[in-house]
A and B are shown apart, each in its own frame.
Chain A
């Protein structure tokens, strides 16, 4: 079983929709949670970064972490065609040094 599970999609939504992307994990030691966005033929870029549980908002993006359920989410409000990309969750334990564990990524298409 993978340490981090992420539905690969693909997910297709109309412009303006609210998008919910999710990851579940099994390692209770994970403390740092990240969302990376990857456009086609590009490297991933950091979108959101949260520590431990709670919510974090940045413009149209909200990251949520529920450590009790081992579940993290990324919400995109008022989605735009430019949001079309693959979204990767990543996480790290305090004691894992520099080792990030990534989800498989969810491919999102926002249709005009």
Chain B
């Protein structure tokens, strides 16, 4: 089954404790991205990657890091999480041929930073 898999789905952590949210897709998509979803603000792009070793900032990159060492994986790293990073996070992927229009999203990772 074609899918984007995120882990963990739920996480409660404390301020300053580094964490990584993994994302993996099995569709051989070139394009991958991370979004956060907050009430009243909708989905906002954090980082995106057009292909292996090619990443760029989205609209809200502060406090986040990403890497794209393999085509299928695109982990999101919070080096020193803060409470304002409490949010619902989505990873998404797309074939380059469709641009970013036809995104396949993961099921989401709900993060709480205390």
Chain A residues engaging chain B, CB cutoff 8 angstroms? 4, 6, 8, 32, 34, 36, 41-46, 49, 88, 90, 92, 97-100, 102-105
Contact = CB atoms under 8 A, between A and B. Distances in A.
Contacts, number: 63
B108 A43 contact: yes
B7 to A, nearest CB: 14
B105 A45 contact: yes
A90 B94 CA distance: 15
A3 to B, nearest CB: 10
B64 to A, nearest CB: 16
Q: Is the interface of A mostly helix, strand, loop or mixed?
A: loop
Interface stretch (B11-19, B36-44, B72-80): B36-44
Interface string B58-90: 110000000000000000000000000000001
Contacts of B48: 98-99
Given A88-B42, A103-B42, A43 B100 contact: no
The size class of the interface chain B forms with chain A is 20 to 34
B114 interface: no
Contact of B101 (A8, A42, A92): A92
B42 A44 contact: no
B43 A41 contact: no
A8 B42 CA distance: 10
A98 B108 CA distance: 20
Can you list the 7 inter-chain pairs with the closest CB atoms, starting with the nearest? A43-B105, A98-B100, A102-B43, A104-B42, A102-B42, A44-B105, A43-B107
12 contacts: A6-B42, A43-B106, A44-B90, A44-B105, A92-B101, A97-B100, A98-B31, A98-B48, A99-B45, A99-B48, A100-B45, A104-B41
